[in-house]
Structure 1
Amino acid sequence: MHHSIKSVLAESADALASISDSPLLDAEVLLCLVLHKGRSYLRAWPDNLLEPEQLEQFWALVEERQKGVPVAYLTGYREFWSRDFHVTPDVLIPRPDTELLIELGLKLIPANEPVKLIDLGTGSGIIAITLAAERPLAQVIATDFSPLALEIAKHNARHHHITNIRFYQSNWFDDVPDAQFDLVISNPPYIAEDDSHLQEGDVRFEPQTALVAAQQGLRDIQIIADTTRSRLKSKGHLLIEHGYDQQHQVQTIFKNLRYDKVRTYQDLSGQPRVTYGQWNQ
């Protein structure tokens, strides 16, 4: 049996073809993890042979991936907005869709003013940490109900040397000190309890509390939009990520709570993904 990088990648990509949309990429990422090398190394040295213990480690990872375990949980990392974030099964895996929240958030935060913003349900910390890094004058608060998630978010903040951020274990605003914010931003649970997607792909391995909400996935969005009103400065902004099919319900929630300028923005694949409202009372 020839155990060159090239042949092992071909064989493992075949083995992953039934489970993954990107079998070769998955195989490369897992092999890089075992070899402690970047993907360019695999292309530069396709004929290099693997040691027996490297092979063993690699095929053990491939086997986990075949069971459906997400690559990000196997490697412990996922890239988001050009930064590496540590992830474990206690937090959601960062999704490219969520970069839309960052884009919109950055447009609303002037680079040269000390604004206050809060990320509700921060998970691995990707939203709060990215905004804090891109807007160093901003004072950022990040909350999560899960102490395990908060530990990961704090680790990620330290890893990226972010100092303008504070963390609170809190169910939405419940345990956040009284303060008025310029921006409230959140990627809350928004999947309905009976959604068939919960049986597919990565989400089977992700924390259900971070995914599922009552009232057809709208309960947490309703609570956040409602409680945010007393926490926003006049002309303050609310941004919430939601499901691709929830645009009308979320807009209705915002409008019923008397938010102004309500509109929904589309993600990279053209799906309505983030709804905005301004508080002018």
Structure 2
Amino acid sequence: MTKNKLHAGDTKVWTIGALLKWTQEYFAAKAIDSPRLDAEVLLSHLLGKERIYLYVHFDEPLQENELVQFRGLVKKRAARIPVAYLTGQKEFMGMPFKVSEHVLVPRPETELLVEAAIERLPGDSEAVFADIGTGSGAIAVSLVKLRKNLRGVAVDISAEALAMAQKNAVLLKVADSLEFLQGDLLEPLQKEENKGRLAAIISNPPYIPLADMPALAPEVRAYEPRRALTDDADGLNFYRRLLADSKELLTENGFFACEIGINQASDVKALAQKNTWGKVEVLRDLAGIERVVILWKRK
């Protein structure tokens, strides 16, 4: 750790390079997983610049008001508040999504679920999907942004999450392709006119077993919305409900695709068999972990 401290009344002239070095060392001492990256993201956010700007202007001094604001961000990050909540934004599928403490921070592994859905959804211009537990809208918004012919229904039980998803749809200019419904899982869709309507039902439900919650990173355990993380049971309750009720809403060639937790693939496949689903696919993420399960309505 450098001897200079980043505190109010500090008379040291802090350049961008010196500030990044100090913050990296400070975060590392606090056991932050990605100290340099976090320092760069927070400073570029504060300055309203791309990260490359920090390297090009390495010797540029910061103004006192900028240092005051940066001190506040560093303090919050050291308390393990997620960077995405401090910046209000997280990139997903190459697009910027607004986030808040009311929604999960979109994860890279969920991009596999989006990619799998894109590859399997029909090219029909009338194809409609549902995103259950939409949160920030990352899945639903990405799908209609990347496949112009699709229309989607985004469902969430949280009014705050649904408002965030709607905001992202507007910001990414796809609001006309999405409908937003508040309710518990499939409940808002269980109407006669929706039977056999959906080409796909996609979900990243709360799947962390209650017993695993204490081992989560402080950023996740203390700050992300609990009801979006766990079912307060074995982590399978939402799959039980979704797999029992999804088929009647799907077209004959439709599918259900979901993200799963580590070692949950066999349990989800067993639930699929119990509910007489057809073909089953299991996809692995870049780390080799079984991460996505796709269940087809037909054999």
Q: CA deviation at 1:97?
A: 0.4
Picking from 191, 198, 203, the partner of 1:186 is 203
Distance 1:248 1:280 in 2: 20
Picking from 38, 45, 53, the partner of 1:41 is 53
Q: CA deviation at 1:144?
A: 0.2
**8 Å CA contact retained: 1:251, 1:263:** no
- The reply on whether 1:201 has 2:208 as its aligned counterpart is no
Give the aligned residue type for 2:198: F
Aligned to 2:177: 164
Give the aligned residue type for 1:3: W
Distance 2:31 2:73 in 1: 14
**8 Å CA contact retained: 2:122, 2:199:** no
Aligned residues with identical type, % of pairs:
35
The structure with more radius of gyration: 2
Distance 2:279 2:245 in 1: 18
Distance 2:167 2:270 in 1: 37
Distance 1:106 1:135 in 2: 7
**TM-score scaled by structure 2?**
0.91
Picking from 162, 185, 188, the partner of 1:175 is 188
Q: CA deviation at 1:263?
A: 2.2
Give the aligned residue type for 2:26: A
Distance 1:59 1:95 in 2: 27
Q: Pairwise mapping of residues 97-176 of structure 1 onto structure 2 (< 5 A)? A: 97-162=109-174, 163-176=176-189
Q: Pairwise mapping of residues 5-44 of structure 1 onto structure 2 (< 5 A)? A: 5-17=16-28, 18-44=30-56
Distance 1:105 1:128 in 2: 10
- The reply on whether 1:248 has 2:259 as its aligned counterpart is no
Q: CA deviation at 1:2?
A: 3.3
Distance 2:270 2:231 in 1: 18
Q: CA deviation at 1:19?
A: 2.9
Picking from 255, 269, 280, the partner of 1:262 is 280
Structure 1 gap segments, 5+ residues each:
none
**8 Å CA contact retained: 1:109, 1:135:** no
Deviates more, 1:156-165 or 1:226-235: 226-235
- Number of aligned positions between the proteins: 281
Q: CA deviation at 1:20?
A: 1.7
The residue matched to 1:236 in structure 2 has which SS?
A: strand
Superposition CA RMSD, Å: 1.3
- Give deviations 1:160-206, integer Å, cap 9, x for gaps: 11021100001111122441211010000001112145542321210
**8 Å CA contact retained: 2:279, 2:298:** no
**8 Å CA contact retained: 1:263, 1:277:** yes
